[in-house]
Amino acid sequence: MVFNGCVRRGRTWVGAIMLGAIVLSACGRSGYQYVESDDETVFAKIPDDWQLISEGIVDFALRPEDGSQLRLLPGDETLPWRAQFTADPAGQVRPDRVAGYVDVQPTDARIRETLTLEALLDYGPGGEALGDPIPVRLGDLEGYRVQFEVAGDDPLTNDRLVLTDDRRTVIYVIQVGCRKSCFDVEADEIDEIMTTFTVDI
The predicted model gives 169-195 an average pLDDT of 95
Gap between the Cα atoms of 120 and 115, Å rounded: 8
CA distance 98 to 87: 5
Look at residue 6 and tell me if it is in a domain: no
Q: Does 185 fall in a domain? A: yes
Strand blocks (E) in the chain: 2-4, 8-9, 12-13, 16-18, 21-23, 32-36, 42-47, 51-57, 81-86, 99-106, 127-129, 134-138, 141-150, 156-164, 170-179, 198-199
**Is 161 a member of any domain?**
yes
Which of the given ranges, 14-23, 26-35, 137-146, has the highest pLDDT on average?
137-146
Phi, psi of 55, rounded to the nearest 5 degrees? -160, 135
Query: pLDDT tens, 49-69?
Result: 999 999 987 765 544 455 555
pTM: 0.79
Question: Residue 117 sits in a domain of what CATH number?
Answer: 3.40.1000.10
- Total domains, the chain: 1
Local structure of 188: helix, strand or coil = helix
Q: Where are the alpha helices (DSSP H) in the chain?
A: 180-185, 187-195
Enclosing domain of residue 189 = 50-199
Rounded to whole angstroms, how far apart are CA atoms 8 and 48? 16
11 located within any domain: no
Q: What is the mean pLDDT of the chain?
A: 79
Query: Cα–Cα distance between 49 and 44 in angstroms, integer?
Result: 14
Amino acid at the residue 20: G
pLDDT of residue 193: 97
Residue 103 is assigned to a structural domain of this protein: yes
Confidence band, pLDDT 50/70/90 cuts, at residue 93: very high
Q: Phi, psi (5° rounding) for residue 192? A: -60, -40
